[in-house]
Structure 1
Amino acid sequence: MNLVHAPFYQGYVDLVESDIKNVLVHQASEISVMINNIPDQKWNYRYEKGKWSVAQVIQHCIDTERIMAYRALTLSRGETKALAGFSENLYAEASEYCKLDKSKMAEDFYYLRKSHQSLFLSMPDKILKKEGVADGNPISILSLWYIIVGHWKHHQKVLKDRYF
């Protein structure tokens, strides 16, 4: 296994306890069900002043998954330039999360994940072992997939523990 990533991501990677392919596939319906089961009155709830709302957390997960999959795609296609980082707080502030219906976000996340499953499953092992640089740190394509899965698991737990 070729997991190369910044120490910051280790917590996400550690949350992936079983086969990455199976988890990546099975999370799609899990994500959709969880989002659709969020009570409407909780959609804009913040557990503390200054914290993101439930809608912002979901949008953050969608944005982060898009960015990590983009990184995996570009590295798999031979990109040699260092890939930029992103500010999760600036993204959260700029999103129009409060205008989005939760069922639309659930659908968006579901189809996003299905698309990413297809991309991941099309990558042979020799591609998954490739490495590049993102946000100033070395990273492997396989690590990006672990980060995607673990990032959702992390925020799923945050939502359950702090919001519901």
Structure 2
Amino acid sequence: MNTKPYTNEYHPALDKYIHLVPDGNLVDILEEQQKNSILMLQDLSEQQAEFKYAEGKWSIKTVAGHIADVERLWNYRILRIARGDARELPGYDRDIFAVSASFDKLPLVNILEDFTAVRQSTITLIKNLEEEAFLRLGLFNDHPLSARAAAFVIAGHEAHHRKIIQMKYLSQLTIE
């Protein structure tokens, strides 16, 4: 899949994620993101992975866990839409998810393994959908949502958070 979704395929608030996805094959982009994210985080100590750049902000572990959780939610939306179940898709509360997940109690390696498993699931889901399925529409936040747009949101959401990790977290850490 190489074509970005049109703006009539998604809620305007999702544009900030979709525009972060570079041109190219989405599966290739997702695979490259996975590799880069793992390389960026795998050598952090547990203490470094629990770093928060400001009071009230999430740790690196929580951000990484959040990326996997959100990707799971978007995979569910892709699956529902692609399979023709166009009923209204629910949102979620990211802060409830983050607190309930207790990512800081998990070893970083477990969080990265989970991200890898979720990303592989995303890739196989996308690879196995026909073009017609990507163009199907569901309803999300009272706006149309195509399976294609949902897939691009996954890549854009990860890019958004990777940039934040690089700029606001890793820039303040001394990586040994």
Which range, TM-score by smaller chain? over 0.9
Consecutive unaligned residues of structure 1, counting only runs of 5 or more, are none
Residue correspondences, number: 164
Tell me the equivalent position of 1:83: 89
**For the residues of structure 2 that align with 1:14 and 1:148, how far apart are their CA atoms?**
12
- For the pair 1:34 / 2:37, whether they are aligned, the reply is no
From 97, 103, 124, the equivalent of 1:97 is 103
- Normalising to structure 2: TM-score of the pair? 0.88
The Cα of 1:122 is off from its aligned counterpart by: 0.6
State the SS of the aligned residue for 2:168: helix
Tell me the equivalent position of 1:67: 73
State the SS of the aligned residue for 1:50: coil
- Normalising to structure 1: TM-score of the pair? 0.94
**For the residues of structure 1 that align with 2:87 and 2:32, how far apart are their CA atoms?**
33
The Cα of 1:21 is off from its aligned counterpart by: 2.4
The Cα of 1:128 is off from its aligned counterpart by: 0.5
State the SS of the aligned residue for 1:48: coil
Matches within 5 A, 1:2-151: 2-3=5-6, 4-19=9-24, 20-151=26-157
> Quick check: 1:35–1:103 contact (8 Å CA) kept in 2?
no
C-alpha RMSD of matched pairs (Å): 1.3
State the SS of the aligned residue for 1:92: helix
**For the residues of structure 1 that align with 2:49 and 2:37, how far apart are their CA atoms?**
15
Question: What whole-Å deviation, never above 9, does each CA across 1:19-50 have from its counterpart, x for those lacking one?
Answer: 22210222222222222133332211111111
Determine which structure has greater relative contact order: mean sequence separation of CA pairs < 8 Å that are 6+ residues apart, divided by chain length. 1
Question: What whole-Å deviation, never above 9, does each CA across 1:74-111 have from its counterpart, x for those lacking one?
Answer: 11111122111001111111112122111111111112
**For the residues of structure 2 that align with 1:42 and 1:125, how far apart are their CA atoms?**
42
**For the residues of structure 2 that align with 1:123 and 1:50, how far apart are their CA atoms?**
40
